[in-house]
Amino acid sequence: MAAAVCAFILTFTTLGPTVVSGVLSTPTNVRLTSYNMNLMLTWDPPDRPASGLVYTTQSKSSVSDYKVGCVNISNLECDLSHLNNSIFEYGKYTGRVRAQSGTESSAWEESNQITLDKDTIIGSPNVSLVSNGAAIEVSIKDPVFAISALRKVYHSANYNITYWKDGQREKARSNSNIQQNRVVLNDLDPLTKYCVQVQIITERTPNLSKPSAAVCESTTTEEEVPWVAAVGTFCTVAMAVALVVVAVVYRKHMSQFLCPKDTLPLHLKEYLLAPPNSSMYLVMRNSHPPDEIYHQVSIIADGRPTTGGSKENLQQTA
Ligand SMILES: *[C@@H]1O[C@H](CO)[C@@H](O)[C@H](O)[C@H]1NC(C)=O
Ligand SMILES: *[C@@H]1O[C@H](CO)[C@@H](O)[C@H](O)[C@H]1NC(C)=O
Ligand SMILES: *[C@@H]1O[C@H](CO)[C@@H](O)[C@H](O)[C@H]1NC(C)=O
Ligand SMILES: *[C@@H]1O[C@H](CO)[C@@H](O)[C@H](O)[C@H]1NC(C)=O
Ligand SMILES: *[C@@H]1O[C@H](CO)[C@@H](O)[C@H](O)[C@H]1NC(C)=O
């Protein structure tokens, strides 16, 4: 009786993971993990499991005290992100769990600490393909997160798209650094089956996401799909018809424009055909190197003869 009382007192005063025999032992292998930004506490039953065991969990962030998680549950895991304790994308969290049986409780067993955005495992994206001639359009859906969304948590997340001819996985090609959800692969052979797999690369987690399941689709011929050709033909015919209609309706205007019937006014014609009579024009037309005429002039004055000259041409052109 004294031993039982002693064990009872010890149970309620000891907080360490080692619990005195005779009372409930703690759950084992307690770990906190995250998948798509959830916060999952998982554990194994105590080494000496009692019958009718239930568990109670708590969690805390690096800046808060423990808050209640799941209470009196019989399964071996608790999704702490589904509780009303709001969790934050970039927070650091720790969980703990204890076993209970009737009025007896084990000590708390604490988990590892995780940083949500760094340690979460990103699930696979969902990929669908549509072939369009010799190209394949890849549509990518991000995995759904327990809190927030992929592009809110990881601003520069990229897709790594790997594609290969069916049966030639070893010759796969990859395009990374892709941020759009829709990508067209157009360096493909026509009439060939290709398979595509996508992984997400983020700047804050060292590992890639889980790869999507490989999905396959066949390209068709190089030609445009029939409706594109049909629309093209329709447009060409419509334009030709429109041109003919315009030509018929405006044929009078157009013939007048191209071969005008109206003649120039008479005075304008005369003016244009009349020989120019501008004196400047005449001078320019008649200009040729002027001959220099040099006359011998004798001037006799006072009986003494003097010789000199005058350039007549200067007088002429002045
Ligand atoms: C959990 O179980 C204990 C012991 O059986 C009981 O006292 C307590 O009220 C239960 N809590 C809830 C929330 O059910
Ligand atoms: C969370 O809070 C809402 C109201 O704020 C309440 O109705 C709901 O039961 C709570 N859920 C849990 C798991 O505590
Ligand atoms: C990343 O990959 C390594 C090696 O595969 C593994 O040990 C580690 O747990 C992974 N980390 C995360 C956060 O998934
Ligand atoms: C992927 O998307 C398709 C169509 O939207 C849906 O039917 C399928 O269940 C999704 N797969 C996964 C793993 O989410
Ligand atoms: C993209 O995926 C392929 C195939 O898994 C891999 O070989 C390649 O290294 C990845 N690229 C990047 C940038 O991670």
HEC string of 225-268 equals CHHHHHHHHHHHHHHHHHHHHHHHHCHHHHHHHHCCCCCCCHHH
3-state secondary structure of 100: strand
Q: What ligand 3 atom has the least distance to the C-alpha of 207? A: 1
160 lines ligand 5 (CB under 6 A): yes
pTM (two decimals):
0.65
174 lines ligand 5 (CB under 6 A): yes
What burial class does residue 138 get, using C-beta atoms within 10 Å of its C-beta: 0-12 exposed, 13-18 middle, 19+ buried?
Answer: buried
Low-confidence ranges of the chain (pLDDT < 70): 1-22, 84-85, 223-228, 254-255, 257-265, 268-269, 271-318
CATH node for 18-119: 2.60.40.10
Give the domain ranges of the chain: 18-119, 126-218
| Rounded distance from Cα 101 to ligand 2 centre (Å) | 26
Please give the pLDDT value at position 277.
63
Strand partners, 60: 94
Mean predicted lDDT score pLDDT of the chain:
81
| Rounded distance from Cα 310 to ligand 1 centre (Å) | 143
The CATH class given to the 126-218 domain equals mainly beta
Say which DSSP state 210 is in. P
Mutation test residue for ligand 3: of 38, 122, 207, the one with most atoms within 8 Å of CB:
207
Please give the pLDDT value at position 312.
44
Q: Other C-beta atoms within 10 Å of 64: how many?
A: 11
Q: Do domains 18-119 and 126-218 have the same CATH topology?
A: yes
Please give the pLDDT value at position 237.
84
Please give the pLDDT value at position 224.
58
Identify which of 55, 56, 38 has the alpha carbon closest to the alpha carbon of residue 114: 38
Please give the pLDDT value at position 318.
39
215 lines ligand 2 (CB under 6 A): no
